[in-house]
């Protein structure tokens, strides 16, 4: 198995989230800054896995709507 980058997508572009919705399993978050977790959760495939490897000083609040 090879590990490496096949594609790069800028998450600063809101269109990226629409284009890639439901296409990732797993997502590994290593970002220590505050981010919109709802946007990243929209990228997960059905039954996907989100791994959060950072600890924020404040609680992590997720807001989800269908």
Number of domains composing the chain: 1
Task: Give the chain's radius of gyration (CA, Å).
Answer: 13
- DSSP class of residue 57 equals S
Helix (H, G, I), strand (E, B), or coil: what is residue 39? helix
- Considering the entire predicted model, what is its pTM? 0.63
Q: Which domain holds residue 5?
A: 1-56
Helix (H, G, I), strand (E, B), or coil: what is residue 50? strand
Domain annotation covers residue 66: no
Domain annotation covers residue 62: no
**pLDDT per position in the chain (66 positions), as tens?**
566 778 888 888 888 999 999 998 888 888 777 788 888 889 999 998 888 887 655 555 555 555
């Amino acid at each position: 198995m090879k590990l490496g980058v096949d594609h790069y997508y800028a998450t600063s572009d809101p269109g990226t989230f629409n284009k890639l919705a439901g296409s990732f399993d797993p997502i590994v978050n290593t970002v220590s800054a505050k981010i919109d977790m709802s946007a990243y959760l929209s990228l997960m495939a059905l039954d996907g896995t989100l791994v959060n490897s950072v600890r924020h000083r404040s609680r992590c609040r997720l807001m989800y709507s269908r």
